[in-house]
Amino acid sequence: EVKMAWCEGVLSLLLLLAVMATAAPTDTLQKFPLLMPHVKPERAETYFCTPIRIDPTVEYYITAFQPNASMETAHHMLLYGCETPGAEDEVWNCGEMALAQPGIKSAPVCGSGSQVIYAWARDAPKLVLPEGVAFKVGGKSPIQYIVLQVHYASVERFKDGSTDDSGVFLYYTETPQPKAAGVLLMGTGGRINPNSVEYMETACTITEDKVIHPFAFRTHTHALGRVVSGYKVSRKGYFDQWELIGKKDPQLPQMFYPIEKDLILKKGDTVAARCTMESKRDRTTRVGSTNEDEMCNFYMMYWTNGKILKKKNCFSLGPPFYYWTRGGLNSIPDRDASSLSVGTSAKEQGIDPHQT
């Protein structure tokens, strides 16, 4: 059975605390498996969540993430840091608009304090953070639980009775690290018209008095994504200056890639992201959680010498309601933002971008 007795869930949490409490010296990295407890999804487009409780008396510093999954089984995985989990069960449905598996409780990923700390798709490899950079969890940090979410787009491999333990191995230390890691998730709502190319865009201005150092980025769309790009935008007089944070074909392994060049973000700067989407479908495609829908996400992973940004997400309504121009941005690098090669326009690649 997927859903186990609550006492077994409590036992697993106590085991986690015991493992962390008896870990080797604090200058040694420890490894902890955050895996699905041999679940058996019965419906395509199922989203399952499973939590771990972090010891509230000790602060831990996560420095690396090693995926334990394949794209044949898991469409994508997300790790959320939560103040409280969405449910107390060992496994629950957490796909919002997606189909819920009967017999299993449905709830949000987090009950409170939600923030993304890791994302994986398309057989992306292990992610090791830069020297001295870590996600602080447990203790007095706002992350008291880590919740693993796995999206199962297909359930073909489970029809023979097989179960799944997809997830992530966390590498952590008790030694405090000087740089705090954070993730800013950029995304949009909106729709893509039949047989068209569409820009899905979002932008947010940093309002906190902090110096942010981006070091990695990740792109995520479903099948229609061609290019996803993210920029630092600074106002110089009447004109905007655009500096590329990173861009990638989202059909490649959806790992965290190093940023284009070293740069910093500070109060007053804007982070802007665009997904160039190409539809050859005879139907409208809307943003949603299933594989037949679309998503437009740009993840910016960063470090700072103090507390991370209070703002964790930046979403727009998307097309046809929001574009960069309607958000007041100018000097937009259209050719660069929608092409994989610098200086090559989308039109020259056989794409004819448009904005309405």
Residue positions annotated with a catalytic role: 75-76, 149, 151, 220, 222, 295
Cβ burial, residue 181 (10 Å; 0-12/13-18/19+): buried
Report whether 354 belongs to an annotated binding site.
no
Under 8 Å between Cβ of 199 and 276: yes
> Rounded to whole angstroms, how far apart are CA atoms 274 and 200?
6
Report whether 222 belongs to an annotated binding site.
yes
Under 8 Å between Cβ of 333 and 239: no
Provide DSSP, 155-201. -GGGTTS--B--EEEEEEESS--SEEEEEEEEEE--EE-TTEEEEEE
> Rounded to whole angstroms, how far apart are CA atoms 103 and 117?
29
The SS3 assignment for 202 reads strand
Taking alpha carbons only, the member of 147, 171, 166 closest to residue 52 is 147
Label each residue of 290-307 as H, E or C: CCCCECEEEEEEEEECCC
> Rounded to whole angstroms, how far apart are CA atoms 302 and 309?
10
Torsion of CA 36, 42, 47, 49, to 10 degrees: -30
Which residues are annotated as part of the binding site for Cu(2+)?
Answer: 75-76, 151, 220, 222, 295
Annotated binding-site residue numbers:
75-76, 151, 220, 222, 295
